[in-house]
Amino acid sequence: MVQTTKTIEIGGTTTNATCRFCKTSLRHTFVDLGMSPLCESYLSSEQINEMEPFYPLHVHICHNCFLVQLESYVSPGNIFTEYAYFSSYADTWLKHAKAYTDLMVKRFGFNEQSQIVELASNDGYLLQYFVEKNIPVLGVEPAANIAKVAMEKNVSTVVEFFGRECANKLVGQGKQADLVVANNVLAHVPDLNDFVAGIKILLKPQGVATGEFQHLMRLMAENQFDTIYHEHFCYHSFITIEKVFAAHGMTLFDVEELPTHGGSLRIYACHQEDSSKVVSDRCIELRNREEKDGFTSLERYQNFTEQVKETKRKLLDFLIKLKREGKTVVGYGAPGKGNTLLNYCGIRTDFLDYTVDRNPYKQGKFLPGTHIPIYHPDKIQETKPDYVLILPWNFKDEIIEQMSFIRDWNGQFVVPIPEVRVYS
């Protein structure tokens, strides 16, 4: 495939942008969220008066393969070498991970003779449940601070970025996998071709690879623009991710639609040469549904920008009304999606007094861009705010249950996506 490069204009500047998958010149905008800092770059008190880098959050759609994507403005090493997201601080996510391991063992019969490898294994939140079943595991995690926590849980982990080179090294060490787990990492991969090619190398001839990622169809339908940030390089439809795996000799033989992250897909992949696995009706149905909904046409993507702008207007109208009434509003959570939302909408301490987070790594720091302080969740009990804005809305049920005590002073919860909703 011949790479073509075309200089295009964005906001008065020029850039050379080609598709991460098919290398076609990028000429079409999906949505432009302006300038934003790296969403996991939390600031210490010593840093809040220093210069802070902002980068464009301009998302493109490839007119050839329909991959929705950001350009790279910062190297993955700058983003992921020391990372602030620890999966184990969400109880709902731990339950999801355990249910996944139970399903994989039941469906494919993995046992003590199997080898499970997870890519972007974080703090061992998932592999720990395979360890409990005495199934050999290996995590591949580029963030040393997070990998250290996993190893403390007896989850064997190598600190590397995954791709062809890493895969060949692992195979050479006898670590070829019966199951490759790539949950919530495909969006984080700058070199999509290298990553999927690595999965092909790592997987045993009869092995299975699974991946979970936010479904672009749900992102658009539910107006989940806050899940767009620099750490997410790509946003996937089933049609496009199927093309990516096929280009590297792999077949998607099954798919599940999940409620996680506002609507995700779990794909199942195998080698194209593996005739033991038949493509399911679920794959055929979802592919047909996306085609019918226009996901192979540029026109389908053109209305998203206006949806995003209207959500911003409604949230600001709501907060302005509350503040004029003298109400106090605080946040719950300090997730990447929250930082995109707050920076795009221009919400700072004039609207949100502070936010809280269960992750000690974030407590005592400040949100990037907005400089909203982050406290321990006990702060809410101390200050008794009128409203709590839930930034990780994908965990709203868990958070509302944890924070139910705010009803003691008639406090209420606010969820901003897909539109402002108040929960008493």
Q: Taking the domain 320-423, which CATH number applies?
A: 3.40.50.720
Asked if the domains at 87-301 and 320-423 fall in one CATH topology, the answer is yes
Whether the pLDDT of residue 424 is over 50: the answer is: yes
Name, of 60-74, 142-156, 286-300, the range with top average pLDDT.
286-300
pLDDT recorded at residue 92:
82
Report, as an integer, the average pLDDT of 58-80: 83
pLDDT in tens, 305-323: 999 999 999 999 999 999 9
pLDDT tens, position by position, 227-247: 999 889 999 999 999 999 999
Mean pLDDT of the chain: 91
What are the E-state strand segments in 100-220? 116-119, 137-140, 157-158, 177-183, 203-214
The SS3 of residue 265 is: strand
Assigned CATH class of 87-301: alpha beta
Q: Are 265 and 237 in contact (CB under 8 A)?
A: no
Confidence of residue 76 (pLDDT cuts 50, 70, 90): low
Which residues, in sequence order, are bridge partners of residue 256? 266
**What residues contact 247, with CB distance under 8 A and at least 6 apart?**
21, 193, 196
Query: Tokens standing for 381?
Result: 């009990």
Residue 145: its pLDDT value, please? 86
- CB neighbours (10 Å) of residue 44? 10
Q: Give the pLDDT score at 3.
A: 36
Query: Residues 7-59: pLDDT tens digits?
Result: 333 333 334 789 999 999 999 999 999 999 998 889 999 999 999 999 999 99
- pLDDT tens, residue by residue, 365-412: 999 999 999 999 999 999 999 999 999 998 899 999 999 999 999 999
What is the chain's length?
A: 424
pLDDT, tens digit, 9 for 90 and up, residues 332-356: 999 999 999 999 999 999 999 999 9
Q: Taking the C-alpha atoms of 402, 405, 409 and 411 in order, what is their torsion angle to the nearest 10 degrees?
A: 20
Mean pLDDT on 281-300: 97
Tell me the average pLDDT across 164-175.
97
Contact between residue 338 and residue 392 where contact means Cβ atoms under 8 Å apart = yes
Q: Angle at which helices 281-292 and 238-247 pack, to 10 degrees?
A: 120
Which sequence spans correspond to the domains of the chain? 87-301, 320-423
Which helix (H) or strand (E) segment is 190 a member of? none
Q: What is the DSSP string of 39-53?
A: TT--B-TTTTTS---
**Residue matched to tokens 């209207």:** 310
Q: Which stretch of DSSP H or E encloses residue 375?
A: strand 374-375
Q: Tens digit of pLDDT for each residue in 98-117?
A: 999 999 999 999 999 999 99
With a cut of 80, say whether residue 80 has pLDDT above it: no
In the chain, pLDDT over 90 holds for what percent of residues?
82
What confidence tens digit (pLDDT) does each residue in 183-228 have? 999 998 989 999 999 999 999 999 999 999 999 999 999 999 999 9
The answer to whether the beta carbons of residues 369 and 61 sit under 8 Å apart is no
